[in-house]
């Protein structure tokens, strides 16, 4: 069997050992976290420990962490007119989202379609700050949602600068930090975020858990799911204790190893990109001129089709994806690359390579060997340099 290497960490990461152990322990608990008996209190304790661990990852107060089924739900919970900030209790009158947001943000959450406006990004996928200032003048109490880092390109947004502009315009800022958390610094105060979404499975926890984190004094007054009083009346339903415990353990582990992992991943990613460019001079790497996550590389080569490239990579033992792999496995033209005004033919061929904390040099070599095979079979007639295309 072909040796396999996984390069799709932005879609989902493997479960960390710490998360597996925490989940296994939590699965052994019987109590409902809302019950007052000692079984219930044990389940409660596991949830509250996870709340502390998740809060620490983003420098927040544990009481401001609301567990959800994932970042999609956290985004839906956050994007509502029903937000209060201290004494400012009037509903938000307009939502502004960047053109490169995840579909769960671009959908506009719980705002009416007519209240949602898309913010322009430049050709590197970075929010245009001058355009942001102009756009915000149209609202009295805006809510702005800009991601920390993009899932397709890895491009990092200037969140602190955006926060300054948003707050000066009487606005609140929501940050989808799913791809940044555990990879780059994600301190809420340093970012200036009022609300922040996290997903467990991108940082080594289980799928189906996430959180919305609020700055002190920010309140969501309209829950998305009503019923019981769980999560301080903000998210009804008996908690998924094992998933939450696994999320907490993963957040703590990610926090501890973040800096070392980032340095290693960046070196490996850069090595891949240098070799890719040397062997395939026509390759274009998106967002290469701006600050990106240490683990992500989105590239395209004229004439390459993402669907066939991904299948060919897979047959050669390599898991990669096209830009967005979030839904049904369908390869669609990337909305992110469209927002960046990338050439449509080139964008159709974009392949995303994303690394993680266990990625090795040997795996990068496997990736490069596979690329030469993929390229030599799919890019007939194009010049490939360096390594022999076996």
**CB closer to ligand PMP, 183 vs 269:** 183
Provide, rounded to whole angstroms, the least separation between the CB of residue 40 and ligand PMP: 27
Stretch that binds ligand PMP, among 77-85, 176-184, 306-314, 351-359 (CB under 6 A): 176-184
Q: Does 153 bind ligand PMP (CB under 6 A)?
A: no
Build a one-symbol-per-residue string for 57-76: x at contacts with ligand PMP by CB under 6 A, - elsewhere: -------------xxx----
What CA–CA distances, in Å, run from 250 to 20, 73, 356? Answer: 9, 19, 14
Chain positions 206 to 225 lying near ligand PMP, rule: CB under 6 A, are: 210
Minimum Å gap between C-beta 199 and ligand PMP is 3
Pairing verdict, β 94-98 and 116-119: parallel
CB of 302 to ligand PMP, least distance (A): 27
For residue 326, indicate whether it is catalytic: yes
151 binds ligand PMP (CB under 6 A): yes
Q: Tell which one of 16, 51, 102, 235 touches ligand PMP (CB under 6 A).
A: 102
Q: Are strands 65-68 and 210-214 parallel, antiparallel or unpaired?
A: antiparallel
For ligand PMP, the closer CB: 294 or 317: 294
Kindly state whether residue 176 participates in binding ligand PMP, applying the rule CB under 6 A. yes
Q: In this structure, how many other beta carbons lie within 10 angstroms of the beta carbon of residue 204?
A: 28
CB 341 within 8 A of CB 123: yes
Among 139, 147, 262, 284, binds ligand PMP (CB under 6 A): 147
Q: Looking at beta carbons only, is 32 or 107 nearer to ligand PMP?
A: 107
Q: Answer yes or no whether residue 199 interacts with ligand PMP by CB under 6 A.
A: yes
Alpha helices in 169-240 (DSSP H): 188-191, 230-233
Kindly state the number of chain residues that form the binding site for ligand PMP, as judged by CB under 6 A.
Answer: 13
**Residue 296 interacting with ligand PMP (CB under 6 A):** no
Residue 145 engages ligand PMP in binding (rule: CB under 6 A): no
Residue 230's contacts (CB-CB under 8 Å, 6 or more residues apart) are: 33, 34, 236, 237, 238, 239
Closest-CB residue for ligand PMP? Answer: 70
The closest alpha carbon to 87, from 218, 271, 240, 233, belongs to 218
Q: Is 171 helix (H, G, I), strand (E, B) or coil?
A: coil
φ, ψ dihedrals at 210, nearest 5°: -170, -175
Q: Which residue has the tokens 């050669």?
A: 316
Cβ neighbours, 10 Å, residue 361 = 11
CB of 210 to ligand PMP, least distance (A): 5
Length of the chain: 390
Task: Supply the DSSP string of 237-305, one letter for each residue.
Answer: S---HHHHHHHHHHHHHHHHHHHHHHHHHHHHHHHHHHHHHHH-TT-EETTTTS-B-TTEEEEE-TT--
* Catalytic choice (56, 225, 326, 378): 326
Provide the minimum distance between the beta carbon of 281 and ligand PMP in the complex, in angstroms, as a whole number: 31
Give the shortest CB-69-to-ligand PMP separation in angstroms.
7
Question: Any contact of residue 180 with ligand PMP (CB under 6 A)?
Answer: no
Minimal distance, residue 340 CB to ligand PMP, in Å:
16
Residue closer to ligand PMP, measured from CB, 150 or 255: 150
Reduced 3-state DSSP string for 138-186: CCCCEEEECCCECCCCCEECCHHHHHHHHHHCCCEEEEECCCCECCECC
| C-beta of 290 vs 326, nearer to ligand PMP | 326
Mask of contacts with ligand PMP, 320-339, x by CB under 6 A?
Answer: ------x-------------
**Residue 223, C-beta contacts closer than 8 angstroms, at least 6 positions apart:** 77, 233, 234, 235, 236
Which regions of 39-166 does DSSP assign to beta strands (E)? 65-68, 83-85, 94-98, 116-119, 142-145
Quick one: 199 or 280, whose CB is closer to ligand PMP?
199
Return residues touching ligand PMP (CB under 6 A).
70-72, 102, 104, 147, 151, 176, 178-179, 199, 210, 326
Residues with catalytic roles: 326
């Amino acid at each position: 069997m072909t040796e396999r290497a996984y390069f799709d960490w932005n879609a989902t990461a493997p479960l960390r050992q710490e998360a597996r152990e925490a989940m296994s322990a939590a699965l052994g608990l019987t109590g409902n976290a809302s019950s007052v008996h000692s079984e219930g209190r044990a389940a409660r304790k596991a949830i509250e420990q996870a709340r502390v661990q998740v809060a620490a990852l983003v420098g927040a107060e544990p009481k401001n962490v609301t567990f959800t089924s994932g970042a999609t739900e956290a985004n839906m919970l956050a994007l509502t007119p029903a937000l209060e900030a201290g004494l400012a209790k009037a509903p938000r009158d307009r939502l502004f989202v960047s053109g490169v947001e995840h579909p769960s943000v671009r959908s506009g959450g719980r705002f009416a379609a007519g209240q949602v406006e898309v913010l322009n990004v430049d050709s590197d996928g970075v929010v245009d700050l001058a355009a942001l200032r102009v756009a915000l003048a149209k609202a009295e109490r805006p809510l702005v949602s800009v991601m920390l880092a993009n899932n397709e390109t890895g491009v990092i947004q200037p969140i602190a600068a955006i926060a300054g502009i948003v707050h000066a315009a009487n606005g609140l800022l929501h940050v989808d930090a799913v791809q940044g958390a555990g990879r780059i610094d994600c301190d809420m105060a340093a970012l200036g975020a009022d609300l922040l979404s996290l997903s467990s499975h991108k940082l080594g926890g289980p799928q189906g858990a996430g959180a919305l984190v609020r700055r002190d004094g920010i309140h969501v007054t309209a829950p998305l799911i009503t019923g019981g009083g769980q999560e301080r009346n903000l998210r009804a339903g008996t908690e998924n204790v094992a998933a939450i415990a696994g999320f907490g353990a993963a957040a703590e582990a990610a926090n501890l190893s973040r800096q070392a992992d980032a340095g290693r991943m960046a070196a490996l990613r850069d090595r891949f990109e240098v070799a890719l460019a040397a062997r395939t001079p026509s390759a274009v790497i998106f967002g290469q001129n701006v600050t990106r996550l240490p683990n992500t590389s989105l590239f395209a080569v004229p004439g390459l089709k993402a669907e066939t490239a991904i299948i060919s990579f897979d047959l050669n033992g390599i898991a990669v994806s096209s830009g967005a792999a979030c839904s049904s496995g369908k390869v669609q033209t990337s909305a992110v690359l469209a927002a960046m005004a990338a050439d449509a033919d080139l964008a159709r061929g974009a392949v995303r390579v994303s690394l993680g904390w266990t990625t090795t040099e040997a795996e990068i070599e496997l990736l490069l060997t596979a690329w030469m095979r993929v390229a030599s079979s799919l890019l007939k007639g194009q010049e490939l340099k360096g390594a022999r295309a076996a």
